[in-house]
Amino acid sequence: MFPKHFYWGASTASYQVEGGNDNTDWAAAARAGRVPECGRACDHYHRFEADFDIAKELGHNAHRFSIEWARIEPEEGMFDEREIAHYREVLQALQERGITPFVTLWHFTLPEWFAKSGGFERDDAPEIFARYCEYVVSELSDLCDHFSTINEPNVYASLGWLKGLWPPFERFGFIGMFKTVTESGDLTKARPKTRLLAPLSYYRISKSLANSHNRAYERIKSTHTNVNVSIVKHTVAFDSDGNPFNSFLARISNYLWTGWFMNRVQNHLDAIGLNYYHYTKYGDRDEHEKTDMGWDMQPSHIYDAIMILARYQKPIYVTEAGLADDDDSHRAWYIKEQVSGVACAIADGADVRSHMYWSLLDNYEWAFGFGKRFGLVAIDCETLERTVRPSAWEYKKLIEANSSVDAVE
């Protein structure tokens, strides 16, 4: 049973949908031919009202989106009030439609000036990040209560500093090693630098991100005690078939992927955002159907990911979970299973307060470009026409069925 004020909706992120974010490290990497062009993306920057009309029609009462740091602080220490005004309009548009906003302050893309000067490798990165976060919250907190500082710190650090698929394209290995083994299969394009000491950089970046979150939390909360500040944690649920060695592996993996980071930020959190895509069971020999990303479809195991985060005893918001499914043949089933997993976690005592599907719109899927389709709403890349996929209506039915008046408080 879902609590009465449960939040149902979907997520997006600025770079992936807005279009025109040219002053970022990703746009610079695209200009250098190392990642696909993003260009106008879905032009959500200009079409957000129409997109929120669709979200409302689909029964959503919550929406997560991110602010593009490079728009707000295009040069170091210079803040652009026109862009703040834009995001105020975005928040107002959500409020007018009865949709509660969840704002992520940073979702992977950096302003070019920050990236060029070292990004999160800079010693003063926590202070710079915290200044930006505090500025945005002070400008928007009359329109929004929920702010997340960082989206998926481990994904950011591992794809940029271990796998070499994202800026700044550093990769673990000996020179010439792993030439063909990549997630996107397109390593030639990324041209990563191979480094034996990449794990040390990964560790340094992860530590800098934890410190940056903590500093941002302190600065925001010192002036805005009432807003909820969270981190969004990509949580892979590692499990085992019960074999003692596999159980040990699962424990270590959960610590390395989630515990290590969460232990560093747990005293600076009002809530936790959960992004769920993966469940790995050591010793499991079963073949599972794959999403268009090649990821196993294990939607109900969102339960395990929730339980991993539940030990931090903070409210949990499912901020992302979903699949790439171009022909929409699995999405409705997947969402239903996912929602059942969330319901089971709530029944077992977890304080879960939202389910936001990734994503509202087909979007720029980072190193994969526009080829992977996660949206409840399909986007025609040529005309930008929006078409609601059948699964989005099934999700609406689920929302309605679970928002019944006799749901417990």
Q: Phi first, then psi: give them for residue 324, nearest 5 degrees.
A: -85, 125
| 379 near ligand BGC (CB under 6 A) | no
Q: How far is the CB of 99 from ligand BGC (least distance, A)?
A: 20
Binder of ligand BGC out of 35, 94, 155, 229 (CB under 6 A): 155
Catalytic residue among 18, 152, 170, 365: 152
CB of 13 to ligand BGC, least distance (A): 5
- Measured from the CB atom, is 219 or 234 closer to ligand BGC? 234
User: Which residue, 16 or 253, is less far from ligand BGC as judged by CB?
Assistant: 16
**Residue 234 interacts with ligand BGC (CB under 6 A)?**
yes
The yes-or-no answer on residue 134 being catalytic is no
Q: Spell out the SS3 assignment of 77-114.
A: CECCHHHHHHHHHHHHHHHHCCCEEEEEEECCCCEHHH
Q: Which residue lies nearer to ligand BGC by CB, 2 or 370?
A: 370
- Looking at 72-80, 147-155, 217-225, 343-351, which segment touches ligand BGC (CB under 6 A)? 147-155
Instruction: Pick the closer one to ligand BGC by CB: 25 or 365.
Output: 365
CB atoms within 10 A of CB 389: 20
In contact, 374 and 363? CB cutoff 8 Å: yes
**Within 13 A of 385's CA, how many CA atoms are on the CB side?**
5
User: Is residue 13 a contact point for ligand BGC (CB under 6 A)?
Assistant: yes
365 counts as binding ligand BGC under rule CB under 6 A: yes
Task: List Cβ neighbours of 391 (8 Å cut-off, separation of 6 or more).
Answer: 325, 328, 331, 332, 335, 376
d(CA 111, CA 27): 10
Q: What are phi and psi of 24, to 5 degrees?
A: -125, 165
Minimum Å gap between C-beta 263 and ligand BGC is 21
Say whether residue 84 binds ligand BGC (CB under 6 A): no
Cα-Cα-Cα-Cα dihedral of 103, 109, 115, 121, to 10°? 70
320 lies in the binding site for ligand BGC (CB under 6 A): yes
Pick from 208, 258, 275, 391: which binds ligand BGC (CB under 6 A)? Answer: 275
Instruction: Give me the residues paired with residue 371 across strands.
Output: none
Asked if 151 interacts with ligand BGC (CB under 6 A), we say yes
Q: Select from 7, 87, 357, 358 the one that contacts ligand BGC (CB under 6 A).
A: 358
Spatial separation of the C-alpha atoms in residues 147 and 270, rounded to whole Å: 10
Cα separation, 138 vs 147, whole angstroms: 11
Angle between helical axes of 331-347 and 302-310 (0-180°, round to 10): 30
- Name which of 240 and 319 has its Cβ closer to ligand BGC: 319
152 binds ligand BGC (CB under 6 A): yes
Q: Which stretch binds ligand BGC (CB under 6 A): 148-156, 171-179, 191-199, 217-225?
A: 148-156
Classify residue 242 by its DSSP letter.
Answer: S
Q: Which residues bind ligand BGC (CB under 6 A)?
A: 13, 16, 151-152, 155, 234, 275, 320, 358, 365
The set of catalytic residues is: 152
